[in-house]
Structure 1
Amino acid sequence: MAARDLSVLFGVILIIIMLVIPLPGWLLSILILINITLALIVILVSMNTKEALDFSIFPSLLLLLTLFRLGLNVSTTRSILSEADAGNVIDTFGSFVIGSSPLVGFVIFLILVIIQFVVITKGAERVSEVAARFTLDAMPGKQMSIDADLNAGLISEQDAKKRREKIEQEADFYGAMDGASKFVKGDAIAGIIIVLVNILFGLIIGTIQLGMSFGEAVDTYMRLTVGDGLVSQIPALLISTATGIVVTRAASDGSLGQDVTRQLLRYPKLLYIAAGTIFLLGLTPINFGLTLMISSVLAAGGFWLNRAMEKQEELSLEQQEEPETRDMNTPENVVQLIDMDPIEFEFGYALIPLADTSQGGDLLDRIVMIRRQLALELGVVVPVVRIRDNIQLNPNEYRLKIKGNEVARGELYMDHLLVMGPGIEEDLIEGIDTEEPAFGLPAKWVSEDQKDEAEMSGYTVVDPPSVVSTHITEMIKKHAHELLGRQETKQLIDHLKESYPILVEEVTPEPLSVGDIQKVLGKLLKEQVSIRNLPVIFETLADYGKLTTDTDLLTEYVRQSLSSQISKQYADGQNQLKVITVSSQVEKMIADHVQQTEHGSYLSLDPDTQQKIIQAVHQQVEAISMKEETPIILCSPTIRMYFKHLIERFFPQVVVLSYNELEPELEVQSIGVVNVA
């Protein structure tokens, strides 16, 4: 155990000893001086902290120091009443303050106690209560501000996490200070009671047990009581002041001394007014020489500060000349120009109400929900979406960019609603013809007063924020594999390692690198297979990674391990799956033309055969689409990935499954066959 830990433990044990065992006067003197020293250190630290959390241990420290001081009070009271002696420090303090008049010394001591209890302690307690209440009330607003900055791309995930932790720490700190301030108040009350006990019982013990005269008893016990009270109340006063400083301290980039001098002397010309006022006071019977000296110091200080501020302003103006040229010549700013946001959402000026919370816009909150939804659905952490307006776009236009490339564009009318459904082309309702941007369905923009008419006609009515959020969701799903790079993959691996360290060690860095794992996960995401079940994926990679490092084959093995997930993803509510099967002729044709190389395998079909297969797929997919059913092609495991590669350029939305990816209890119904003549 570290020496610092032992010192704190030893201090707590010493406090317990002081409460029980009588201590000699010389040891009490040492402990009293230590108490004063600690109080001085605390107030100096509180004055030099830039914000309250820099002294977060203060509530607990306040309790320990209060207990230490009360332990000293018990020990000194025991010594005063039993021996009429409490060490040299107490005797010296008492003699110095009382002098020849015990009554005057006692009055001075009472004034000191009243200042601490009525002014400082009571004020610090009230400020602690108010600070705790306002900190707790402000927490929801601060959390929303962090979420807004995160969604706008102004801060990263780590910065948001740190800011949230800081808010929680502030709430805990001010709540603890609210309770700790009660210790200060109780300590002040206890000090008053202890003084009265020492005087009253000291007089009784001195006159009855020790045979002192009344005057001698008054002189002895008054001196010791006042000395004990001073050595106790001076540290208590310092701690009370430190409490008030900490809870009233606003966050700043300097210490209390720097802030006081900088802000108090911010306006040098005001010192001239103060100097003139003091000088005029000297014309009264007040000492003219004294007022002249003070007014001269104030005037000289104002002149010096004014000159310093003028020089600072000149320097600032020089530094502001040609800022653009200077900034462009610095390598740091040039490097920043090449930074690219993973996801950017830009919109025209007419769509600003989408993101402006003061106008009722909730796009920022919707994007937070989109990121959470995709984390649950796909198992991937979507980067922060940078949201900005762009005057180069049409007023009602928006676009979505992923890694700098535009992947979607659309148009919104903020004072309209989007309606879609069967028969929308029949002009049963008037509006602006358009397409639903996410799925390309025929739709119309209609005015808000046509909402009831559209709903009664059986159309689906969607507001503009829902239209754009759905579009963003579908586009991010479609391009999720592009957002998953090696760095993002490493983060997923590190997260999995916290719960499955042995499993991760068996997969990476040997036999598979982070890049290999990223390729497998990217291939799964590209076909809309969730990677949230990372333990199962890594179990499969651990089993087959030693046999092959071909990421295409590993992806097929992983898909087969995720058969339950894939079956539930595409089956209907009655556990049925309608599919288009691939004929044995086409399967044999593809299997016979698979070429094996040292870098992997690929399909080598002549262009005419490829065209025939694609044409056959087109006929079947078109027939299925006419029935408003999702086209799913089912084939053998050996050719699945080659068949998918063959058709994905022409039919990117068509799902291709293998028999090994389906659960045995799933009822499969063939509604078409891919065949070539």
Structure 2
Amino acid sequence: MSSYLRSAVNPKALGPFVVPVGIVSIIVMMVVPMPSFLLDVLLAANITLSLVIVLVSLYVTRPLDFSIFPALLLVATLFRLALNISATRLVLLDGFAGHVIEAFGHIVIGGSLVIGLVMFIILVVIQFLVITKGAERVAEVGARFTLDAMPGKQMAIDADLNAGLIDEGEARRRREDVAAEADFYGSMDGAAKFVKGDAIAAIVITLINLIGGMTVGILQKGMAPMEAVNTYSLLSIGDGLVSQIPALLLSVSTGLIVTRSATSGDMGSSVVAQLGAQKRALQIGGGAAVALCLVPGMPKLPFLLLGAGVLLIAQKLPGPVEKAAEEAAEQAAATAPTGPAPDSPEALLGEMRVDPLELALAPDLVDLVDTAGGDLLDRVRALRRKVALELGIIMPPVRTHDDLDLPLSSYGIRISGVEVARGQAPPGTALAIGDGLEALPGRAGHEPVFGLEGKWIPAELRHQAEMMGATVVDRASVVITHLAEVVRTNASRLLGREDVRALTDVVKRSHPVVVEELTPALLSIGEIQRVLQSLLDESVPIRDLVRIFEALSLAAKAGSTTDGLLEAARGALGPAIANQYISDGRLPVMTLDPQIEQMLLESLRPGEGGIQLGVDTARAEALVTEAHRLYDAAEQRGITAILVCSPILRLPLQRLVRLATPRLPVLSYTEISGVAAQIETVGVVGGVYPAVA
């Protein structure tokens, strides 16, 4: 029996029924008369519900935590109007509408009609002209700004995803939050109109009660004019106050929700923390309150008690000097040297070591790695995981340091001590990418990966640039995106033999037979490294090492060369290689003219670096130019095309095409034969070829 009762009052079990039953009951209340006792209970429930909504609005940490508020506001407004109708019916029929309304009419306003009218008018003015008007304006502006900022927020999420700071699940959750935020503020813009209409309805209903009550009392019940005025006026004012107080609470809730900014806690905690951080302001305020005691005729005790209390609180708070000392002590403890002496052999060997991957920052960019506000180091750590999942290699740790030789506002990316890329990230700015940015101050710049033109604008103008349609990227995102592209482009240089040994050991734990058959009997670690580096040079992930090792074992037993080993590994990964270029169920390909392909097959010659194309310079240049033109034309239409050819021709053709178009993938017919996609031809290479004689 007890378990049945617990399940019967479980809020989650009642949730699907509460709102539908409540709305049906509200509609019934508007039509069917109800006893005064039930009206008292519902009026008390209305006040309690409004109070609970105000408290929830205070304790939520962000508006989206109370996303049901617009719909709840509509239901609460409808409920209050239904109570108004029920109370009006009882007032006009019986001259009595329950003890709650009677209490507000006699006890709260002292039975005085004038006091009741004044209080009612004051509450209406406060709600209608102050709270409701302000909340309506804030909701309208918030809805517009939120919708305008959506593209920029989406681009920021994509930048974090590309940088590896977040995964697909987190990116999906953030996109849902952005969409939910836009929907919420749009709903709040409309919900504010409910509050405004409710305030107007309260005035109209109270006037109707006054006029209707006196008319019923004088004409139908034969009351004296003064008796009718006293009876129905007090009841009408009491009904208006009972309805107006919950309406005022809901208006306050609306204002609290739409004016909340980004804070890490509830409103009370945020108020105490932020006011407590300003010790000098509290000292001046407390001193001013005490000074008011000196004004002749001013009551001294209240100002003296309050001023002394504020001064006492300010005295207990740490001042700027104490805060600075604490921060300096913490920083000194964190940076205290614990290693060997600077001239010891260990320290010298450490300085002599060449790091595989470095990120050098100009002195004015050190704030990017400052633990107090920069998150670049966290993004670098996240990038290592993203690279491992994408390419199948363990990205070496990035040594981040300042470099006095770099120009101000610049950074450099180095591999094995050699700088391979350099970019700009001026302090206090953000990169705006788009057109029509001439009106914004700043200096010209470009996105380092795709070369998009932009402008480095002051960070405080970020929102203005987003409203102008630009994509705004913060400095850390620019740097980490550039670093990620450099790592992908130079992945083969970052794959050392120790890394290959570690990857082999991982495979051996799950597939020992595969590794034991391959190495060291057939191939050494160095030979496996060359094959894996060749795969990475052609942007082929090496995550599926089991299939790669199995293919290498078969090819090595047949005595294949390094090129043969590479093609064997690609053959095992063929569907996976082609799958990364499929878009919307289609695989866009460029083919060779049959005559051109036959001529290239006949020109194949063995060489020291593998099989080469034995064609003259003019023919090779014409072929490369035509392939580059078709690839650019497809790319301008938003299509990433691949070039397909015969298996034996693939590798030498890849080496030739890479000189002019390094981003053009070259696949064999075998590699695309197993894909579950529609193959779409976007161009045929060879249109200008016969002209070259």
User: Given the two structures, how large is their TM-score scaled by the length of structure 1?
Assistant: 0.58
Q: What's 1:489 paired with?
A: none
Separation in 2 of the partners of 1:11 and 1:477? Answer: 62
Match of 1:268, SS state, is helix
Matching residue of 1:57: 68
Q: Given residue 577 of structure 1, which amino acid in structure 2 is its aligned partner?
A: E
Q: Does 1:296 align with 2:304?
A: yes
Matching of residues 344-423 of structure 1 within 5 Å: 346=359, 391=403, 406=416, 409-410=419-420
Matches within 5 A, 1:164-243: 164-243=175-254
Max Rg structure: 1
- Aligned counterpart, 1:278: 292
The match for 1:127 is 138
Residue matched to 2:102? 91
For the Cα contact (< 8 Å) 1:399–1:406, is it kept in 2?
no
Return closer, same or farther for 1:528/1:93 CA change in 2, 3 Å cut-off: same
Instruction: Output the CA distance in 2 between the equivalents of 1:271 and 1:570.
Output: 76
Of 488, 499, 516, the residue aligned with 1:476 is 488
Residue number in structure 2 paired with 1:591: none
Q: Which residue of 2 aligns with 1:36?
A: 47
Q: Aligned-pair distance for 1:52?
A: 2.3
Alpha-carbon deviation of 1:409?
4.6
Equivalent position of 2:592 in the other structure: 572
Please tell me whether the aligned partners of residues 181 and 243 of structure 1 are also in contact (alpha carbons under 8 angstroms).
yes
Does the C-alpha gap of structure 1 residues 222 and 159 become closer, same or farther in structure 2, counting only changes over 3 Å? same
Of 269, 282, 289 in structure 2, the residue corresponding to residue 268 of structure 1 is: 282
What amino acid is aligned across from residue 572 of structure 1 in structure 2?
A: L
Match of 1:80 in 2: 91
**Structure 2 residue matching 1:74: 3-state secondary structure:** helix
CA distance in structure 1 between the aligned counterparts of 2:616 and 2:574, rounded to whole angstroms? 25
Residue aligned with 2:96, SS: coil
Cα distance in 2 between the residues matched to 1:249 and 1:95 = 38
Residue identity matched to 1:28: L
Q: Is the 8 A contact 2:592 2:645 kept in 1?
A: no
Q: In 2 relative to 1, CA 15–144 (structure 1 residues): closer, same or farther, beyond 3 Å?
A: same
How many angstroms does 1:632 deviate by? 10
Stretch deviating more after TM superposition (212-221 or 192-201)? 212-221
TM-fit CA distance, 1:580: 5.8
**Corresponding letter in the other structure for 2:253:** A
Q: Which amino acid aligns with 1:107?
A: V
CA contact (8 A) 1:131 1:174 kept: yes
Confirm or deny: 8 A CA contact 1:399 1:409 kept in the other structure: yes
Residues 530 and 259 (structure 1 numbering): CA distance in 2 closer, same or farther, change over 3 Å?
Answer: closer
Q: CA deviation at 1:625?
A: 6.4
| Paired AA for residue 68 in structure 1 | F
Task: Say whether the 8 Å CA contact 1:47–1:245 is kept in structure 2.
Answer: yes
Counting only pairs closer than 5 Å after superposition, residues 312-331 of structure 1 correspond to structure 2 as 314=322, 317-318=325-326, 320-321=328-329, 323-326=331-334
1:559 aligned partner, one-letter code: G
Which residue of structure 2 aligns with residue 306 of structure 1? 314
Task: Please tell me whether the aligned partners of residues 268 and 302 of structure 1 are also in contact (alpha carbons under 8 angstroms).
Answer: yes
Which residues of structure 2 form unaligned runs of 5+?
1-11, 339-355, 369-382, 425-448, 450-480, 496-509, 515-528, 557-564, 625-642, 654-661, 674-678, 687-693
TM-fit CA distance, 1:10: 2.1
Return the offset for 1:186: 0.3
Separation in structure 1 between the aligned mates of residue 597 and residue 99 of structure 2, nearest angstrom? 95
**How many Å apart are 1:45 and its aligned residue?**
1.7
2:329 maps to amino acid:
E
Q: Is 2:131 aligned against 1:116?
A: no
C-alpha displacement at 1:129, in angstroms? 1.8
**Counterpart in 2 of 1:559?**
574
Aligned to 1:23: 34
Q: Which amino acid letter does the alignment assign opposite residue 294 of structure 2?
A: L
- How far apart, CA to CA, are the structure 1 residues paired with 2:117 and 2:483? 80
Count the aligned residue pairs. 494
Residue type of the partner of 1:41? V
Deviation at 1:189, TM superposition (A): 0.6
When residues 112 and 481 of structure 1 are mapped into structure 2, their CA distance, relative to the original with a 3 A threshold, is same
1:123-145 per-position Cα deviation (integer Å, ceiling 9, x unaligned): 22222222223333444454555
SS of the aligned residue for 1:571 comes to: strand
Mapped partners of 1:563, 1:121: distance in 2:
60
46-55 or 200-209: which moved more? 46-55
Q: Which moved more, 1:626-635 or 1:188-197?
A: 626-635
| 2:358–2:399 Cα contact (<8 Å) kept | yes
SS at match of 2:221: coil
For residues 257 and 213 of structure 1, the distance between their equivalents in structure 2, rounded to whole angstroms, comes to 54
Quote the offset at 1:25 in angstroms: 0.9
Q: TM-score, normalised by structure 2?
A: 0.56
Instruction: Answer whether contact 1:578 1:632 (CA < 8 A) is retained.
Output: no
Could you say what secondary structure the match of 2:261 adopts?
A: coil
The equivalent residue for 2:658 is none
1:122-178 Cα shifts (integer Å, max 9, x gaps) = 222222222223333444454555566666777666665555444433332222111
Which digits, 9 at most, give the CA deviation of each residue in 1:514-542, with x for residues without a partner?
A: xxxxx9x98996484879xx9xx9xxx9x
Distance of aligned partners of 1:233 and 1:156 in 2 relative to their CA distance in 1, 3 Å threshold: same
Tell me if structure 2 keeps the 8 A contact 1:146–1:164: yes
The C-alpha deviation readout for 1:432-462, integer Å capped at 9, x for no partner, is xxxxxx9xxxxxxxxxxxxxxxxxxxxxxxx
After superposing the two structures, state which structure 1 stretch, 215-224 or 405-414, moved more: 405-414
Paired with 2:672 and 2:114, the residues of 1 have a C-alpha distance of 98
Equivalent residue number for residue 448 of structure 1: none
| One-letter amino acid of the counterpart of residue 571, structure 1 | T
Distance 2:28 2:319 in 1: 61
**SS of equivalent residue, structure 1 residue 86:** coil
- AA aligned to 2:597 is L
SS at match of 1:242: helix
| SS state at 1:2 partner | helix
Cα separation, partners in 2 of 1:626 and 1:256, compared to 1, 3 Å: same
Equivalent position amino acid for 2:574 in 1: R
Q: Decide which moves more: 182-191 or 1-10.
A: 1-10
* Structure 2 residue matching 1:236: 3-state secondary structure: helix
> Secondary structure at the residue paired with 2:597?
strand
Q: What is the CA–CA distance in structure 2 between the aligned matches of 1:188 and 1:166, rounded to whole Å?
A: 32
Summarize the alignment of residues 579-590 of structure 1 with structure 2, pairs less than 5 Å apart.
none
Is the Cα contact below 8 Å between 1:109 and 1:229 reproduced in 2?
yes
Equivalents in 2 of 1:626, 1:326: separation in Å? 64
For 1:144 and 1:195, the matched residues in 2 are separated by 52
2:223 is aligned with what amino acid?
M
Q: Deviations over 1:256-309 (max 9, x none)?
A: 33444454563232134323432123x23x4xxxx2212321342243123212
What amino acid does structure 2 have at the position aligned with 1:270?
I
Q: Using the alignment, how far apart are the partners of 1:400 and 1:275 within structure 2?
A: 59
The residue number in structure 1 matching 2:439 is: none
- Which ranges of structure 1 fall in alignment gaps of 5 or more residues? 331-342, 356-370, 415-437, 439-468, 484-508, 514-518, 587-611, 645-652, 670-677
